[in-house]
Chain A
Amino acid sequence: MVSIESARKAARRGSKICTGFHPIDRIAQIFDAYRDEAARVGRPAGPEQLAIRRNVTLGRDGPEAVEISRAAMRAYRAALTHDPRYTESPLPDAPGPTHGFSVGDDEFIAGTGREVADNIIAQCRRAGAGHFLCTLNRGSPLDRQMAAFELYARDVIPALRAAEA
């Protein structure tokens, strides 16, 4: 789900939606369109119907996490060049392919548990999302991935569950 057109269609048929890739301001536009269309067809929607998906990197400290995340972002963008919908020049307000997408800096969230939690909560509030899907430590060795899951469980999940969307 990467376009306003698809979001409106989903609202008409009563499906929930999840999106990623885009900068958060673009996601907020997509979710606004979804909420508007859902209200128009008499099926009001809120945070329970909306999810954001992001890549999240946790490290022993913030700088380490950012360094790992930057490497993952480069690899991710390189892999996406195979997708004809992908553009490397994100201009959210410019007209473009109906279903095109870019990878904004908001896509990669990195830092300590507290920093990551604050970033996720801010993005969810900006767009009005009640669900957050994370891909944790993409590209890291398995032992680092396991450590990231444990950190996320300890430092991020309680903050998300305590937050208001």
Chain B
Amino acid sequence: MIKPWIFEFFGAPGGGRDRPVGSDVTAEHYTWHLDLWRRTEAMGFEGIFFSEHHFGLGFSPSPNLLIATLATVTRTLRLGVMGIVLPYYQPWRVVEEIGMLDQLTGGRLEIGTASGIPQEMERIGLTVEEANARNAEAIEILDAALAAPVISHHGKFWSFDNLNIAPRPVQLPSPPNGRRW
């Protein structure tokens, strides 16, 4: 079997790059897409992966918010991000949100991570080299936190002891079934 998924880039209306979009058009754009995504469950899709893009490239800079919204109107559709751009975040906070979203979706969360794209990194003064290094260290923390509820870490970008990461995901040992994207 080949499992059919949606990869939702969720572009801004009209392309959006560096152009402001009116709030009424924005609201209509969200409403239309939320209705479409809700309907894809009955269409037979396995799930939806949302992209994460910033600064006008797409309309889901925080795709976890879309997952939380869809969790309440779907029952079987698997939901994830392809991928969470780890160098932009505190990795312990990413894992906390993973725990929350896996609970809110009833164990339907897919975890995907990414190091980001150069043209967005450049906008915030992040080099590709630093983003790759942050990504590698964040993945170490992510994997450790998914494997155990209390973690310590001492690295180049993050350092902490005995952090209690809660809530824990529904899917054990970690979503999705121990292997993330």
Contacts and interface: CB of A to CB of B under 8 A. Distances in A.
B172 interface: no
Interface in B1-52: 1-9, 11, 32, 36, 39-40, 43-46, 49
A112 to B, nearest CB: 17
B149 interface: no
B155 interface: no
B2 A124 contact: yes
A103 B144 CA distance: 35
Nearest to A131: B3
B134 to A, nearest CB: 15
B8 A14 contact: no
Contact of B43 (A53, A82, A133, A149): A149
Given A120-B2, A130-B2, A161-B1, A83 B117 contact: yes
B82 A18 contact: yes
Interface string B71-112: 000000000001000000000000000000000000000001
B54 interface: no
Contact of A132 (B5, B36, B44): B5
Contacts of B153: none
B49 A13 contact: no
B143 interface: yes
A149 B2 CA distance: 17
Given A17-B181, A149-B40, A136 B6 contact: yes
Majority secondary structure of chain A interface residues (helix, strand, loop or mixed): mixed
Contacts of B32: 142
Interface string A64-97: 0000000000000000001111000000000000
B69 interface: no
B105 to A, nearest CB: 18
A135 interface: yes
Interface string A108-151: 00000000000011001000011111111010001001100110
Contacts of A27: none
Given A15-B181, A133-B5, A135-B9, A149 B36 contact: yes
Given A15-B180, A138-B9, A146 B36 contact: yes
B2 A133 contact: no
Interchain residue pairs A-B with the least CB separation, the first 10:
A153-B43, A133-B7, A160-B2, A133-B5, A157-B44, A82-B119, A131-B3, A157-B4, A160-B4, A16-B181
Interface of B: 1-9, 11, 32, 36, 39-40, 43-46, 49, 82, 112, 117-119, 139, 143, 178-181
